[in-house]
């Protein structure tokens, strides 16, 4: 996959150059946004609720034992913001939306729809890739905001109702508000935006590379998802490293 990295950067650049045309493609952007929301909102809600919950469940009893129950809110709050929400939502979107993008564009490639576009002098990048990239890179950060809020609530519920923890709603959120700053929020959103671009570019690029009939489509989907995930997790480390030192 790494041999394609340069190619994907060029592909990204070519898409960015098309940005002035985004207004013309606004209907397709809206369609994509709707699809992303439709496919992922419920899943995002369930995932985030449980991630926030399990985070509280893992850290709560240990902290309570050491008399640190007052910091649970901050720990759940920060972890959701800076790490868990961006990464988990990126994984969800890579699986649900990245795969769909690779499959759709891949089948268009296999069934010569892309060739047909090109003979009509319609650039597949502005027609297919641009709306998808714009949609995913605006939808994922929004989804992450939603996920953070739901995750906080998940953590709070566990803190209140788990008898090994027993921290009140009030003290949980008081600590959370004290600890989490706007910068942490933005930190997570920035990461998720980078992840969104990775998913969009990897999936569309892979879709366009599809060859070898219907079997090739399946192969492209797998590659798109796996490559996105690997890139996301590697980038996550380095982005965190850079963001911490700012």
Can you give the binding site for another protein, defined by CB under 8 A? 104, 107-108, 111-113, 115-122, 127
| Least distance in angstroms from the C-beta of 134 to another protein | 17
| Least distance in angstroms from the C-beta of 113 to another protein | 5
Q: Could you give the CA distance from residue 176 to residue 173 in angstroms, rounded to a whole number?
A: 5
Q: Which residue, 65 or 115, has its beta carbon nearer to another protein?
A: 115
By C-alpha distance, which of 236, 210, 233 is closest to 99?
A: 210
Do 154 and 51 contact (CB within 8 A), yes or no? yes
Q: Which residue, 56 or 103, has its beta carbon nearer to another protein?
A: 103
Helices vs. strands in the chain: H and E counts, helices first: 11, 0
Q: Which residue, 38 or 121, has its beta carbon nearer to another protein?
A: 121
| Least distance in angstroms from the C-beta of 242 to another protein | 38
Q: Could you give the CA distance from residue 207 to residue 102 in angstroms, rounded to a whole number?
A: 4
Q: Could you give the CA distance from residue 85 to residue 154 in angstroms, rounded to a whole number?
A: 12
Q: Please give the C-alpha separations between residue 200 and each of 101, 194, 214, in angstroms, as whole numbers.
A: 8, 10, 22
| Least distance in angstroms from the C-beta of 120 to another protein | 5
Q: Which residue, 109 or 187, has its beta carbon nearer to another protein?
A: 109
| Least distance in angstroms from the C-beta of 29 to another protein | 14
Q: Could you give the CA distance from residue 169 to residue 237 in angstroms, rounded to a whole number?
A: 32
Q: Which residue, 67 or 213, has its beta carbon nearer to another protein?
A: 213
38: Cβ–Cβ under 8 A, 6 or more apart, which residues?
Answer: none
Q: Which residue, 10 or 116, has its beta carbon nearer to another protein?
A: 116
| Least distance in angstroms from the C-beta of 112 to another protein | 4
By C-alpha distance, which of 204, 48, 68 is closest to 132?
A: 204
């Amino acid at each position: 996959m790494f041999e394609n990295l340069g190619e994907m950067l060029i592909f990204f650049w070519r898409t960015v150059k098309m940005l002035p045309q985004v207004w013309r493609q606004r209907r397709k952007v809206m369609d994509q946004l709707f699809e992303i929301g439709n496919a992922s909102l419920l899943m995002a809600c369930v995932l985030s609720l449980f991630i926030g919950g399990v985070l509280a469940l893992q850290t709560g009893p240990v902290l309570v034992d050491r008399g640190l129950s007052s910091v649970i809110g901050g720990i759940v709050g920060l972890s959701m913001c800076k790490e868990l929400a961006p990464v988990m939502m990126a994984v969800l979107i890579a699986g649900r939306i990245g795969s769909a993008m690779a499959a759709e564009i891949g089948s268009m490639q296999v069934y010569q729809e892309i060739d047909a576009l090109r003979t009509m002098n319609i650039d597949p990048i502005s027609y297919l890739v641009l709306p998808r990239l714009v949609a995913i890179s605006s939808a994922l950060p929004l989804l992450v905001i939603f996920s953070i809020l739901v995750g906080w609530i998940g953590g709070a519920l566990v803190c209140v109702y788990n008898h090994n923890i027993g921290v009140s709603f009030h003290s949980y959120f008081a600590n959370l508000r004290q600890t989490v700053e706007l910068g942490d929020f933005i930190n997570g959103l920035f990461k998720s935006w980078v992840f969104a671009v990775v998913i969009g570019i990897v999936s569309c690029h892979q879709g366009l590379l599809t060859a070898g009939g219907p079997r090739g489509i399946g192969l492209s989907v797998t590659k798109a998802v796996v490559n996105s995930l690997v890139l996301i997790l590697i980038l996550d480390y380095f982005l965190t490293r850079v963001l911490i030192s700012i």
